[in-house]
Structure 1
């Protein structure tokens, strides 16, 4: 298999990463399938597989990861996962090696020169990715955390209380900024979601220059692509992908979140908002800490809100997600 370069999108979900993914997927040089979140799901499960240098254990891990991909709510159109072929290309018996080989084979199938992984939570595994020798180009996509929080509150996934949302957003942005400072401009490209909306062509031309691929006008007509329409049809969270860029899709939190909700977010993540050039609305300068009793109350509210979100899941979304969640549950119970 020819050498295929890699792109890793990092940041926090609900920041426009699926939009960026389908835009990038318009380039013939880039293959950007919808992510099954291989590393996020399988790193916590690795103890279940024992010593991966025992071939049977490694085979089991390959098989389960392939099942996860095959059960993805957005299918990898036309691509067949061959367990034997995947194993033959693995240069080491590790989770990250399986992850890399699967993405390489998918990109090779699509005749692309880059594979792109949209699992933004892979920022938590950046050190392991670097140590493995993959050395991807990173695209750090960030969005006003208060709009991210608002989006999560409406979504079927993720935390729901402002405290938990702010804490997660702050942690992940801080990790991304640290990675940028460590690797520099040649390896990490920054895009703010708001700039992507307001100056789409300019941002995408600069991104193509970073990737050393030619800009293509088809990037801005992503919404008519097969990948966008399949994704939009696969879940409520992605339905906007069948439409052109919504230029005014920012600062929605100022109208839809309460003052108390905004204050909680700014108390927890205010310094990171400022670091990324977002102004505070309500809270004073400096991050504030909550008492253990307050946090316990937030935990109870968060759990309840997540239960409500799960109960509101449409039958279609529930059916699409059932396969992967059942697989993970079955592995945990082994």
Structure 2
């Protein structure tokens, strides 16, 4: 069994590439439940982990998180099931076996895992899963910001989206180069993945060390993928298969001001990642932090923020791990 991890901003095709790889006959990429991030970052709250009462409390909180109807897996876990997966304190074996059980339920050996802000807990992964490989995917921040703005599960709008994209790339790029030097990371642009689909997928699967499998392009026919696509508005496109050339929607759906603000915030990262800047430098220079803040206040008043029941439940369950 191998564990592979995705480094990617939200609304940047993370669910798409995950489900695309899930189409492979030997890769299981379960719809995210956001398990590892909150657990890895809050283990200190449950120390000593090998103390049975502390371990049981951690497993109870994890079980609540995994049971929320945010996404569905083939395998379900009770508290007793989790206790059987690892001895008290053995967090590596516990996490590994959770994903292994889901892979087994799908008749597969390898697991591709999507979690948000992997850079926040990368040291944990490097210590516990040193042989793992990482796929770093990036999307044009203007399209990412548009997708974020249109999704009622995300608070903020284009300013918050652009700032999150900027932070994600700053952190992910430095980790990518570190991992690449160890032959543990591969880079792909979302735009290339949707344009030259077969060519890019072959590169990814070769990097993961597995044989290419044409079934990846039938990922949308999987019944569990369909069920998850119906659960979250943000995942609805997963049931449609590969949407060719799904890029540059921002050109017709964002205003000139919105595009300019995203480019101002993300300027240096966009240049490094070779996304062309459309706004002239003189106009960008006029966009001060005050201009951005004023725009943000206005857009917050207009945007709909109404997260789904599953998203709210997932947020509340994760919060317990941070507040223990």
TM over 0.5: yes
Of 145, 151, 162 in structure 2, the residue corresponding to residue 149 of structure 1 is 145
Please report the RMSD computed on the Cα atoms of aligned residues, expressed in angstroms.
2.9
Structure 1: which 5+ residue stretches go unaligned? none
Q: Does 1:327 align with 2:317?
A: yes
| C-alpha displacement of 1:80 | 2.7
Which residue of structure 2 lines up, in the alignment, with residue 16 of structure 1? 13
Q: Does 1:179 align with 2:175?
A: yes
Distance (whole Å) between structure 2 residues aligned to residue 51 and residue 108 of structure 1:
31
Give the total of aligned pairs.
Answer: 323
Per-residue CA distance 1:275-316 (angstroms, 9 max, x = gap): 11110010529x97976755654664465456x322xx5xxx
Which residue of structure 1 lines up, in the alignment, with residue 57 of structure 2? 60
Q: Does 1:101 align with 2:90?
A: no
Of 230, 233, 246 in structure 2, the residue corresponding to residue 233 of structure 1 is 230
- Give the SS at the match of 1:281: coil
1:104 touches 1:115 (CA, 8 Å); kept in 2?
yes
Which residue of structure 1 lines up, in the alignment, with residue 187 of structure 2? 190
Structure 2: which 5+ residue stretches go unaligned? none
| C-alpha displacement of 1:159 | 4.3
Moved more, 14-23 or 37-46: 37-46
Q: Does 1:281 align with 2:271?
A: no
1:50/1:141 CA distance change after superposition, 3 Å: same
- Counterparts of 1:212-231 in structure 2, within 5 Å, are 212-231=209-228
2:25 touches 2:213 (CA, 8 Å); kept in 1?
no
| C-alpha displacement of 1:42 | 4.0
- Give the SS at the match of 2:164: helix
1:39 touches 1:96 (CA, 8 Å); kept in 2?
no
1:96 touches 1:129 (CA, 8 Å); kept in 2?
no
| C-alpha displacement of 1:261 | 1.3
Q: What TM-score, normalized by structure 1, do the two folds share?
A: 0.85
Moved more, 32-41 or 88-97: 88-97
- Counterparts of 1:27-46 in structure 2, within 5 Å, are 27-42=24-39, 46=43
Which residue of structure 2 lines up, in the alignment, with residue 170 of structure 1? 166
**Higher RCO (CA 8 Å, separation ≥ 6 residues):** 2
1:160 touches 1:305 (CA, 8 Å); kept in 2?
no
Distance (whole Å) between structure 2 residues aligned to residue 332 and residue 211 of structure 1:
33
Q: What TM-score, normalized by structure 2, do the two folds share?
A: 0.87
